[in-house]
Structure 1
Amino acid sequence: MTTIRLTREFSFEMAHALEGYDGLCRHLHGHSYKLFVTVSGTPCDDPQNPKYGMVMDFGDLKRIVNRLVVEPYDHALVLRQTPENLRLLEQVRAKWERVYLVDYQPTCEQMLIRFAGQIAAELPRGVQLAELRLYETEKSHATWRAEDNSR
Structure 2
Amino acid sequence: MAEYRIPERLQVLGVDIEKSELPYHQKRVAVTKEFTFDAAHHLHAYDGKCTNLHGHTYRLVVTVSGFVNAIGIVIDFGELKQIYRDVIERKLDHQYLNEVLPKMNTTAENMVVWIWEQFEAALAQYDAYRGLRLEQIDLFETPTSKATLKREWMI
TM-score (norm 2): 0.77
- Whether the 8 Å CA contact 1:78–1:102 is kept in 2: the answer is no
Residue 149, structure 1, aligned to residue 149, structure 2: no
Q: Aligned-pair distance for 1:41?
A: 0.6
* Aligned Cα root-mean-square deviation (Å): 1.2
Larger radius of gyration: 2
- Whether the 8 Å CA contact 1:15–1:31 is kept in 2: the answer is yes
For residues 122 and 72 of structure 1, what CA distance do their matches in structure 2 show?
14
- Whether the 8 Å CA contact 2:33–2:61 is kept in 1: the answer is yes
Residue 18, structure 1, aligned to residue 37, structure 2: no
For residues 96 and 79 of structure 2, what CA distance do their matches in structure 1 show?
27
For residues 76 and 16 of structure 1, what CA distance do their matches in structure 2 show?
8
User: 5 Å matches for 1:35-114?
Assistant: 35-44=60-69, 46=70, 52-79=71-98, 99-100=99-100, 102-114=102-114
Q: Aligned-pair distance for 1:100?
A: 2.2
For residues 56 and 120 of structure 2, what CA distance do their matches in structure 1 show?
25
Aligned length: 125
Q: Which runs of 4+ in 1 moved over 2 A?
A: 99-102
Question: Match for 1:42: what amino acid?
Answer: F
Aligned to 1:139: 144
Q: What residue ranges of structure 2 are gaps of 5+ in the alignment?
A: 1-25
Q: Secondary structure at the match of 1:22?
A: coil
CA distance change for structure 1 residues 101 and 43 in 2, over 3 Å: closer, same or farther? closer
Residue 31, structure 1, aligned to residue 50, structure 2: no
TM-score (norm 1): 0.79
Q: Going by fraction, where is strand more abundant, 1 or 2?
A: 1
Q: What residue ranges of structure 1 are gaps of 5+ in the alignment?
A: 47-51, 80-98
For residues 87-136 of structure 1, give each alpha carbon's deviation from its aligned partner in whole angstroms, at most 9, with x where no partner exists: xxxxxxxxxxxx42631111111111111111111112121011100100
CA distance change for structure 1 residues 127 and 101 in 2, over 3 Å: closer, same or farther? closer
For residues 83 and 117 of structure 2, what CA distance do their matches in structure 1 show?
12
